Amino acid sequence: MVSRGVYSVDGFIAKHVVERQYFRAVDCHFLGEKAGESAERKAREDVANGFLRPVELKTPTIEEFYQSCFGVPGVVTSDNPICSSCTQRGDCELARQTVISKTLSETGFADPIAEADRRANRRRVNEYRGRQSASRLDTNAAPKLGVAV
């Protein structure tokens, strides 16, 4: 059974070569060729005995290669070097236009969040100006004389 110590060669080979398949066994020869072969043999025995379970790797689909910005409005610019070299630029532009047209038809705005921010800013500015004008009226008003009784 493989030693699962933090710094053990056995544990490293079992975890990164056999279980997760991050490295090939030959990539770990810097740890010592004989030690690496022994550790790999032990790890393979552990797999056969059910102590280790290798990760099932599948071939990614084309959609899994899309960029995180794919189809997001406001990201694509013609002078952006990342967008101009992207292999999915055509599909991305089509998806982005679809998102914008659907949002426009449902909300009346291409960017409803920006529109809500503009409305909130206009409301706050109007409230501020109202307070300022009320304050100016109060300070310019003639002082009221109190009558002592």
Q: Is residue 76 very low, low, confident or very high in pLDDT (cuts 50, 70, 90)?
A: low
Q: Which residues contact 49 (CB under 8 A, 6 or more apart)?
A: 1
pLDDT score at 147: 56
Does residue 129 register a pLDDT over 70? yes
Burial 84-100 (b: 16+ CB within 10 A, else e): eebebeeebeebbeeee
Choice between 76 and 96, residue whose per-residue pLDDT is larger: 96
pTM above 0.85, yes or no: no
Compute φ and ψ for 58, nearest 5 degrees: -120, 160
Does residue 117 register a pLDDT over 90? yes
Choice between 75 and 27, residue whose per-residue pLDDT is larger: 27
Task: Please provide the distance, in angstroms rounded to a whole number, between the alpha carbons at the two ends of the chain.
Answer: 103
Separation of alpha carbons 129 and 121, rounded Å: 12
Separation of alpha carbons 52 and 41, rounded Å: 12
Tens digit of each residue's pLDDT (9 = 90 or more) over 50-69:
888 888 878 777 766 677 78
Tens digit of each residue's pLDDT (9 = 90 or more) over 88-116:
888 888 888 898 899 999 999 988 889 99
pLDDT score at 88: 80
Q: Which residues contact 93 (CB under 8 A, 6 or more apart)?
A: 76
pLDDT score at 105: 93
Does residue 122 register a pLDDT over 80? yes
Tokens 């999915």, located at residue: 88
Does residue 142 register a pLDDT over 60? no
Instruction: Give 12-63 as a DSSP string.
Output: HHIIIIIIS--S-GGGGGGG-HHHHHHHHHHHHHHHHHTS-------PPPGG
The mean pLDDT of 15-39, rounded to a whole number, is 81
